[in-house]
Structure 1
Amino acid sequence: MHDIVEQLLGYLRGIWRYRWYALGLAWIVCIAGWVGVQRLPDQFEASARVYVDTQSILRPLLRGLTVDVNTDSQVQLMTRTLLSRPNLEKVARMTDLDLKARDTKQMDELIDGLAKNISLRSAGRENLYSIVYQDRDPQFAKKVVQSLLTIFVENALGETRQDSDSAQRFLDKQIAEYEARLLAAEERVKTFKRQNVGVMPDSGQDHYARMQTLSGQLAAARLELRESEQRRDALSQQIEGELPTFGYGNRSPAADPKRANITLPVDARIQGMQERLDQLLLQFTDKHPDVIAVRQTLADLKKQRDAEMAEITRSMTATASAENDGNGMPVPAGVSNPLYQQLKLTLSQEEANIAAIKVRVQEYESRLTEMQKLVNSVPEIEAQLKALNRDYEVTRQNYDQLLARRESARLSQQAGQTNEDIRFKVIDPPRVPNTPTGPNRLALMTTVFVAGLGAGLVLAFLMSQLRPTFDNRRILTEITSLPVLGSVSMIVSPQVLRRQKIGLISYAGIGAMLVIVYAGLAVAQATGYRFL
């Protein structure tokens, strides 16, 4: 450690011996550098701030109706391509910078100069961008920023509209093609149905399904026919026990409804409801909703039967009272029996119903026979029709989807033309400050000052190494490897000592003057004063 300290002290003593050379070089470098800094031209920085609003109110309103475009990605792409060569060439033309170029090489140099002095700065997620350009001419710098701002806005709107127009043309072309294919498919289906009329499937059923449905309808009609015949036979038997008229002075047993054992149509329903009630009581209690509903229905049916019996009783009573007039004289016999007339009417209606059901059964049998004859040919026709309908449906679905997408593209284009999808808000229009923004002369002068001092120290150190001297006996012994017998001290006279003091004071004063000059220039620069 002691050796290192001794070596450093030796270097410092060597630099001190050549201090005047160091100071002189420092003055030369500082004066030259400061003059150069003062002669640097002023730079004016023009800037503008623009906000790109991608959160439009139309986006949630038109979601699902228009094409969903990632506007944030579009904005990022625009910012990355803003300083592309085509855009810089546009800026050169808009600012008349291209008039200064005589050939392609000069034009390339001008474009490169523009690219170096233009900067696009982002504020992060807020989509707030600053466009900055530096130049000697403040008005030219402002024109460049204005041109970049215009290109930034126009490129966004232009690319969106160009994409929408391309998509619109493509969709129109595809719709025209599918429309022709759809018309051709419709014509094929129409022709096929015309050629095979009468054997076309209906309601989405094939031939076998229709045969099965028709067989079920035929079986139901036959069952209904048997039921109607049974009711007819029962009515015929009941009519045989009734007299068409009531005789004179002799009342038929049928005149008394209770003794005539009359069966009304409602009796069958009452019996069915009673059986239903018995079944429910085997499973549930009296308070079960189904039991309560059936009992209510049964009570209503009984009331209806009592009303019908009362009506029949009134009719029979009126007929019986008509046998005698008010004086007890007999009246002519042959008064009609209303129950007999009602049964006859019901029997006639049942006979007509049976005749209609027989016609229906015959029609079902005829249709089923015809379908059984076509069992081998109709499935082939149905298969061909399904294939035609399938092709038609596929074409129609694609056609409908294209129509919907064209409408979506049209809405997207209209939304883009209203500038509501991406809106540009100029926060700060292009402006140039009154005072120049560069160069930073204070920093440059400080750099020159530090460089001058450093250059002086380097020069003194190099001279001390080129012209070395021995400061003590130890260094001399180490270098020469010879023993040093002794050393002679130098006695400085008062005159020499006085000259050394004067030289030291002069050196300090000249060095202090260099610092003072730097400080004065720095203060002047800070106040905006220039010497040149």
Structure 2
Amino acid sequence: MEEIVRQALTTLRATWKHRHLGMIVAWVVGALAAGVILRIPNQYEASARIYVDTQSILRPLMSGLAVQPNIEQQIMMLSRTLISRPNIEKLIRMADLDLDIKNKAQQEVLIEDLTSSLKIVGVGRDNLYTISYRDPDSAKAQRVVQALVSIFIESSLGDKRQDTDSARKFLEEQIRNYEKKLEDAENRLKEFKLRNIDLAAAEGKSGIDRLGDLTTQLSNARLQLREAEQSRDALRRQIAGEEPVLLPDSVGGDSSISLPEIDGRIDTQKRNLDSLLQRYTEQHPDVVGARRLIKDLEEQKRQEIVARKKYAAANPGSSVSNNPVFQQLKVSLAEAEASTASLRARVSEYEERYKRTTSLMKTQPQLEAELAQLNRDYELDKRNYEQLVSRRDSAELSGDLDTAGSMADFRLIDPPRSSSKPVAPNRLMLLPIGLLVALAGGLFVAFAASQIRPVFFDSKALRDVTDLPVIGTVSLISNEARRQKERSSLRRFYIATAGLVSAYGLGIGILVFLSRQAT
């Protein structure tokens, strides 16, 4: 710590040795600083305040029907992007700033100056905006602010209408594109359904369900065909005389007499009953119905036998061919032949459907996947188309709303006006700064001179720098004349310092006096 203090004192003594040079430099720098400060041109500021009223009665009324833009965000973006090159060029023409422009370089300088000098500042959250500009000519500053206010209001209205028109054109183009896509999707879906009519007809049921239904229908048709064939064969045997039916009362009971038509149906129902009993109980409705049908057929057989016995007893000499019962058998045979042919055609059709369904089941997963893809594409295009149409209607309603009344109202609170007194530069602040700069410059020059031409004030500093042993030192004994000379030098330094400070103080006082006189 002691070494640091010693080095600091040595540096101060060396700087003090060149104090006269430093004072001369301080005076020069101070004079230059004062001249520059006094020659800075006065700046007059013009300003205007604009209020943006976003509380329009149309906004809640049109909520959900028209596009509701974020008015506050739009105004904020507009205020930030207003100072652009096209707007600055327009402002130059509106404020007649291009009258003194003679070449392209001057125009570029003017544009850069305006871009850096114009300010648009939002005031709090009340949608208040202040537009300000500074210039040596107060009238010019006021013209610039007036032109910028006009551009601010016009841009807010023109850009909104332009955005609405651009959005409408874009939506119209996209709607036409999606109309074409929707038509293509509908045509592809129609062609697919025409090519795969079976799949479309069976839509809503799986292949297993349709195959099960066809299996049941085919089994029932085959059962009915066998019943019809047995009934037909029985009628044929009766007509061929294999089993005579017109006999008098036989020794045996009615059970010994055979009626092939009815017996065949009874046998079929009995086999069906056996099959049902293997799957269901006696109380099952199908089992009860089968037993009731067998009972009805047996009763019908009994009544038929009784009727034939009565006819045979009443007409003992009649032949079989002239017997009305025989004629009825021939009619029944014809009906049985027709029913058999019909049932055979039905069985054939069901068999063909079964084969087609079986073949279709092999390709059904691929067809269903293709149909699902077509439906998905169609639904996607349809949904996008409906959304675009809805947005187009909203955009048109928004455009009509802009025409009927603006969603934001721009009000000029304070018209553009220029200050009567210059707002810059603040010379009362700059002059003390100039004095400090002058004193700092003089101190720096004195320090630099001490470093350029170093001086040793004791033997220890000389020994530390040269790294040589010091044999001895010679002291200077000042006489009266030398002491008088040093006092005169010190007096001149103090006078010069006081004169510099007094000159700046006088200048500040004059400026204060002039400013009070102006008010």
TM-score, normalising length: structure 2: 0.55
Give the secondary-structure state (helix, strand or coil) at the position aligned to 1:46.
strand
Give the secondary-structure state (helix, strand or coil) at the position aligned to 1:116.
helix
The answer to whether the aligner puts 1:486 opposite 2:472 as a matched pair is yes
1:68-467 to structure 2, matched below 5 A, reads 68-166=68-166, 408-467=394-453
Distance 2:409 2:144 in 1: 22
Q: 1:507 aligns with which of 475, 480, 493?
A: 493
Distance 2:381 2:457 in 1: 106
Deviations 1:151-209, CA, capped at 9 Å, x for gaps: 11111111112233445667789999999xxxxxxxxxxxxxxxxxxxxxxxxxxxxxx
Residue identity opposite 2:460 in structure 1: R
Per the alignment, do residues 507 and 409 of structure 1 end up closer, same or farther by CA in structure 2, a change over 3 Å counting? same
Instruction: Identify the residue that residue 522 of structure 1 maps to in structure 2.
Output: 508
1:17 offset after TM fit, Å?
0.7
Deviations 1:287-324, CA, capped at 9 Å, x for gaps: xxxxxxxxxxxxxxxxxxxxxxxxxxxxxxxxxxxxxx
Instruction: Identify the residue that residue 45 of structure 1 maps to in structure 2.
Output: 45
Instruction: Identify the residue that residue 64 of structure 2 maps to in structure 1.
Output: 64
Per the alignment, do residues 58 and 478 of structure 1 end up closer, same or farther by CA in structure 2, a change over 3 Å counting? same
Distance 1:469 1:507 in 2: 21
Per the alignment, do residues 497 and 415 of structure 1 end up closer, same or farther by CA in structure 2, a change over 3 Å counting? same
Distance 1:498 1:398 in 2: 103
Per the alignment, do residues 421 and 490 of structure 1 end up closer, same or farther by CA in structure 2, a change over 3 Å counting? same
Distance 1:397 1:459 in 2: 82
Per the alignment, do residues 424 and 485 of structure 1 end up closer, same or farther by CA in structure 2, a change over 3 Å counting? same
1:454 offset after TM fit, Å?
1.4
1:5-16 to structure 2, matched below 5 A, reads 5-16=5-16
1:130 offset after TM fit, Å?
1.6
Distance 1:397 1:7 in 2: 86
Per the alignment, do residues 169 and 492 of structure 1 end up closer, same or farther by CA in structure 2, a change over 3 Å counting? closer
Residue identity opposite 1:449 in structure 2: L
Distance 2:384 2:10 in 1: 94
Deviations 1:446-480, CA, capped at 9 Å, x for gaps: 33222211111111112112222211121122233
1:19-34 to structure 2, matched below 5 A, reads 19-34=19-34
Distance 2:500 2:387 in 1: 84
Per the alignment, do residues 470 and 399 of structure 1 end up closer, same or farther by CA in structure 2, a change over 3 Å counting? closer
Per the alignment, do residues 129 and 33 of structure 1 end up closer, same or farther by CA in structure 2, a change over 3 Å counting? same
Residue identity opposite 1:68 in structure 2: Q
Q: How many residues align?
A: 320
Give the secondary-structure state (helix, strand or coil) at the position aligned to 2:457.
coil
Residue identity opposite 1:19 in structure 2: R
1:141 offset after TM fit, Å?
0.8
Deviations 1:87-120, CA, capped at 9 Å, x for gaps: 0011011011223223333322221111111122
Give the secondary-structure state (helix, strand or coil) at the position aligned to 1:424.
strand
1:400 offset after TM fit, Å?
9.8
Give the secondary-structure state (helix, strand or coil) at the position aligned to 2:469.
coil
Residue identity opposite 1:508 in structure 2: Y
TM-score, normalising length: structure 1: 0.54
Per the alignment, do residues 462 and 396 of structure 1 end up closer, same or farther by CA in structure 2, a change over 3 Å counting? closer
1:411 offset after TM fit, Å?
4.3
Deviations 1:12-51, CA, capped at 9 Å, x for gaps: 0011111011011100110111012111111111112212
Distance 1:172 1:484 in 2: 100
> What residue ranges of structure 1 are gaps of 5+ in the alignment?
180-393
Distance 1:176 1:137 in 2: 57
